[in-house]
Each structure stands twice: as C-alpha cells, then as structure tokens.
C-alpha cells in the first residue's frame, strides 16, 4: 500500500509541476497505476482476489477509453495552438 501511495505522489507531483500536456497525461497514467495496485493489494490481503481482479479489469477498460479520448483531444489542441504547452490553453476564447 505504501508503494501505491508513492505512485500517487509521483503522479500528483507531475500534475502540479509539469507544463507539457502529454507529460501531464503520463502523470494521470501513473496515478491510475497506483489505484490499480491498491485495489489488487487490498483484494490479495483480504483473500478476495477474484473480485479485485474483476474491478481491476473494469478499471483498465475505462482507462483505455479515457486514454483514447484524451489523446484525441491532445492532438486537436496541438492542431489548434501548434504547441503542447498547457499555459497556452488559458488564451482560448469562445
């Protein structure tokens, strides 16, 4: 569980400090790894591995959908601003 908390910290640090949109999304991925590890570790300790596995698989499917949509948005952001800098999005109007 301590390692899962470590992963959450690494991801949050990335989200709070980085400017590149792809890097920010990698931070979200790291956080999701921490959550997956915490889910399965809890199931393993409580001897509920089957239930934890089914939840992890659901989580992974949701994650794939999220990644596909977010990366499509990132490509559109790049087409619009010609940059991956998150600060340039503050200048968007309408």
Binding site for another protein (CB under 8 A): 1-3, 5-7, 9-11, 13-14, 17-20, 22-23, 26-27, 29-30, 33, 36-37, 40-41, 43-44, 46-58, 60-69, 71-76, 78, 83-85
Residue number with CB closer to another protein (44 or 93): 44
Rg (CA), the chain: 16
Q: At closest approach, how far in Å is the CB of 93 from another protein?
A: 20
Residue number with CB closer to another protein (69 or 91): 69
Question: Could you give the C-alpha distances from 8 to 75, 77, 84, 87, in angstroms and in order?
Answer: 26, 26, 24, 24
**Measured distance between the N- and C-terminal CA atoms of the chain, rounded to whole angstroms:** 44
């Amino acid at each position: 569980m301590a390692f899962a908390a470590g992963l959450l910290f690494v991801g949050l640090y990335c989200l709070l400090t980085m400017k590149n949109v792809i890097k920010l999304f990698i931070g979200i991925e790291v956080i999701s790894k921490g959550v997956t590890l915490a889910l399965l570790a809890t199931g393993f300790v409580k001897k509920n591995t089957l239930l934890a596995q089914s939840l992890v698989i659901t989580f992974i499917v949701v994650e794939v959908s999220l990644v596909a949509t977010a990366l499509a948005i990132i490509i559109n952001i790049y087409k619009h601003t010609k940059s991956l800098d998150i600060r340039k999005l503050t200048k968007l109007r309408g």
